[in-house]
Amino acid sequence: MVSKSKGFSTRAVHAGEKRDPSTGAVITPIYETSVFGFSSTKELIDVMSEKAEGYTYTRYGNPTVRTVERKMVELEGSEDATIFSSGMAAIATTMLTLTSSGDHVVSTRDLYGGTLAFFKDVLPKFGVDVSFVEATDFDEIKSAVQRNTRVIFAETPTNPTLKVVNVSKVAKLGRKRGITVVVDSTFASPYNLQPLRFGVDIVVHSATKYLGGHNDVTAGVACGPEDFMHKLKEMRKHLGGTLDPHAAWLLLRGLKTLGLRMERHNSNGIKIARYLEKHPKVKRVYYPGLPSHPQHSIARKQMRGFGGVVSFELDGDFETTMKFVDNLKLCFLAASLGGAETLATQPVTCSHYYVSAEDRKKAGITDELIRLALGIEDPEDIIADLDQAFNKT
Ligand SMILES: *Cc1c(COP(=O)(O)O)cnc(C)c1O
């Protein structure tokens, strides 16, 4: 273990890792095994009853997976962490652990599509109602709270218009009313924001994005207090959203460079946001690092940097926007974010394709909106690619 006073990258490299006693291997091995053997029934019972540390079956726990959990503990500053097979597995398992029939949830309206579908279509089947509120309107969040509200769920920054939630204010409200506050911090990563430091109870991530960082692994994580993590691990056993040890190892490898990668995502983010803001063919830029962003001062207070996602509206229509995206050469036309490669999408044809025109309008998703998920390439080359696409539109 590494002391909490060490720097972020030192923790990202060393935290949670133990030198392999049998071989001295510096890197944690991939324990690609579904089952673990015992030398006696007594030893088996000690592990089963949690009297002794150990592993029985990979759906219950695995040493490679556990190493990632220990590392996440030190990156988010939580008591414990639970790794899942995807971000959606982390979110669904967390919500099903926190709520029961008759409970109520308040959630920001701007949500990842999978989370929105889970809140709208799945939770109500179990008798859990969700009220959706404007992420940036604290009074609306406050007045949506009912007697039976168990969870306030918030995403920050939001997709794709990068609204910023005042996490400290929402955490205080939760504390005062005895409501668990869950923050999906995927777009920030623990390098840019540590919600638990502001009093948030539980933080969840799609580790498929910045944490894995290479567009090659699907995973999720929840971090929070030990007693809740214990319950969450029980629920993970039941629902089965365990991460495969090989994928856990890829995540471990990605996490070591999280600090380095985030510095580049952050600097590419601000450079490209400034470039777009000055471009005559751009109507509007969404980036929390720009002084023109409506929640810029909150973002500056709670975040170390503003990440690699920049959204902007082209001065044009659906056709010209589609043409612009199709003309990009270096940037891939692809969903997702947080990897080494820059990806570009027109949300109306991608993340919000199935969202009704009315709901899109409410969320500010116009036909001319483009989301850039900047990678870690040199900023001059990304700008050159955008330039040549602008010149053709
Ligand atoms: C991608 C994403 C998810 C879902 O994660 P998966 O790993 O794809 O299951 C949840 N929340 C946010 C903000 C995301 O970007």
Whole-angstrom Cα distance, residue 204 to residue 208? 12
| CATH 3.90.1150.10 residue window(s) in the chain | 258-392
Q: Which atom of ligand 1 is nearest to the CA of 186?
A: 13
Q: What are the percentages of helix, strand and coil residues in the chain, rounded to 5? A: 40, 15, 40
Q: Which atom of ligand 1 is nearest to the CA of 114?
A: 4
Q: Is 114 in the pocket of ligand 1 (CB under 6 A)?
A: yes
Determine the pLDDT at residue 2: 61
Determine the pLDDT at residue 18: 87
Cβ atoms of 184 and 204 closer than 8 Å: yes
Q: Which atom of ligand 1 is nearest to the CA of 218?
A: 7
Whole-angstrom Cα distance, residue 169 to residue 189? 20
CATH domain 8-255 topology: Aspartate Aminotransferase; domain 2 (3.40.640)
Each residue's pLDDT, cut to its tens digit, for the chain (393 residues) gives: 566 679 999 999 999 998 888 899 999 999 999 999 999 999 999 999 989 999 999 999 999 999 999 999 999 999 999 999 999 999 999 999 999 999 999 999 999 989 999 999 999 999 999 999 999 999 999 999 999 999 999 999 999 999 999 999 999 999 999 999 999 999 999 999 999 999 999 999 999 999 999 999 999 999 999 999 999 999 999 999 999 999 999 999 999 999 999 999 999 999 999 999 999 999 999 999 999 999 999 999 999 999 999 999 999 999 999 999 999 999 999 999 999 999 999 999 888 888 888 888 888 899 999 999 999 999 999 999 999 999 998
Helices and strands counted in the chain (H then E): 15, 12
Give which of 192, 205, 204, 159 is closest to 299, Cα–Cα.
Answer: 192
Cβ atoms of 269 and 210 closer than 8 Å: no
- CA angle centred on 135, ends 286 and 192, rounded to 5°: 60
Q: Is 160 in the pocket of ligand 1 (CB under 6 A)?
A: no
Q: Is 136 in the pocket of ligand 1 (CB under 6 A)?
A: no
Residues acting as catalytic residues: 59, 112, 184, 209
Determine the pLDDT at residue 393: 87
Please provide the DSSP assignment of 103-144 as one string. -EEEEESS--HHHHHIIIIIGGGGT-EEEEE-TT-HHHHHHH
| Residue 112 CA, ligand 1 centroid: distance in Å | 6
- Hey, whose CA ends up nearest to atom 7 of ligand 1? 87
Give pTM, 2 decimals: 0.97
| Residue 181 CA, ligand 1 centroid: distance in Å | 18
Q: Is 86 in the pocket of ligand 1 (CB under 6 A)?
A: yes
Q: Is 218 in the pocket of ligand 1 (CB under 6 A)?
A: yes
Q: What is the 3-state secondary structure (H, E, C) of 273-336?
A: HHHHHHCCCEEEEECCCCCCCCCHHHHHHHCCCCCCEEEEEECCCHHHHHHHHHHCCCCEECCC
| CATH 3.40.640.10 residue window(s) in the chain | 8-255
Q: Is 155 in the pocket of ligand 1 (CB under 6 A)?
A: yes
CATH of domain 258-392: 3.90.1150.10
